[in-house]
Amino acid sequence: MSTLGFVGLGAMGAPIAGRLLSQGHTVYGTNRTRSKAAPLIEAGLLWCDSPREVAHAADVVFTMVTDDGALDALTAGPDGILAGLAAGKVYVDMSTVGPQFSRALAERVGSRGASMLAAPVSGSVPAAQAGTLAIIVGGHADAFERVKPILGGLGSTVTFVGDNGQALLLKLAINISLAVQMLAFSEGVLLAERGGIEPDLALEVLTHSAIGSPMLQARAPMLLELPEQAWFDVAMMRKDLRLTLATARELQVPLPSTAVADELLAAASKLGYEHRDIAVLFRVLSEMTSPPPTAQPGRGTP
């Protein structure tokens, strides 16, 4: 088994690192808050005090953080990942960051004699736990072949698509549909409910119709009962949509439905739902309107 490193042991990083440990890999790791890594340390994670130490100890180092700023903070400087990289090492970033930022970071990694892959994932916490993520990979093809077996233990599909930026562009394209589908589905359920249809019946019919994508089928129950732990929260989705809209402006591509979804997610943040799952869009729409006096709302109204 390979000697691996993992930096960023949050909601997604922790279950991914846990799977690597369960598969017999030696895993060095660090996180901004050590207490969050306690279960992984008990499972065999070898704690390091800095990202540099992780990169120095591992042949292949992974990161999973929130945004460009967080990734820059843990890669740069005397204690950053770049300082610990050396010739022959492979750095795999699984974060969703800007395509241009990832390309620039790949050049800096290359200057150290190492190779960088962008490997953003599609799928939320349950998929990370089950190893059923869809992993989109960009970078050097030879580096991909080297880590492909490792990635195969984390996802049900692992697809090489081109350079770093192209992998992230596809991840942003996926998240357009994730946000827009969730909004449209919430609109449909609210329309049915306000017309007197029981919301759980509406959910059953809609998710078993032509629009019933795997994502909607998995998230449908959340519309009526939000989980305490978000699979994908409003703040993270808003970050991704901002990246998407900025990239679309550079490429001169109109994204009208993305812009509308971003507006509703902004409303969700203002209502205090920033860290709830994006399924909260149903509740947001409900709170933005009042049922007409003649309507007969079914049970489950937020």
- Name the residue ranges covered by the structural domains of the chain: 3-162, 169-288
**Cα distance between residue 174 and residue 298, in whole Å:** 33
**Cα distance between residue 191 and residue 214, in whole Å:** 22
CATH of region 3-162: 3.40.50.720
| One pLDDT digit (tens) per residue for the chain, 302 residues | 679 999 999 989 999 999 999 999 999 999 988 988 999 999 999 999 999 999 999 999 999 999 999 999 999 999 999 999 999 999 999 999 999 999 999 999 999 999 999 999 998 888 999 999 999 999 999 999 999 999 999 999 999 999 999 999 999 999 999 999 999 999 999 999 999 999 999 999 999 999 999 999 999 999 999 999 999 999 999 999 999 999 999 999 999 999 999 999 999 999 999 999 999 999 999 998 876 555 444 444 44
- What is the CATH superfamily name and number for domain 169-288? N-(1-d-carboxylethyl)-l-norvaline Dehydrogenase; domain 2 (1.10.1040.10)
Nearest-5° Cα angle at 214, 221 to 276: 45
| Sign, Cα dihedral of 171, 172, 173, 174 | positive
Reference 170, options 243, 254, 87; nearest CA is: 243
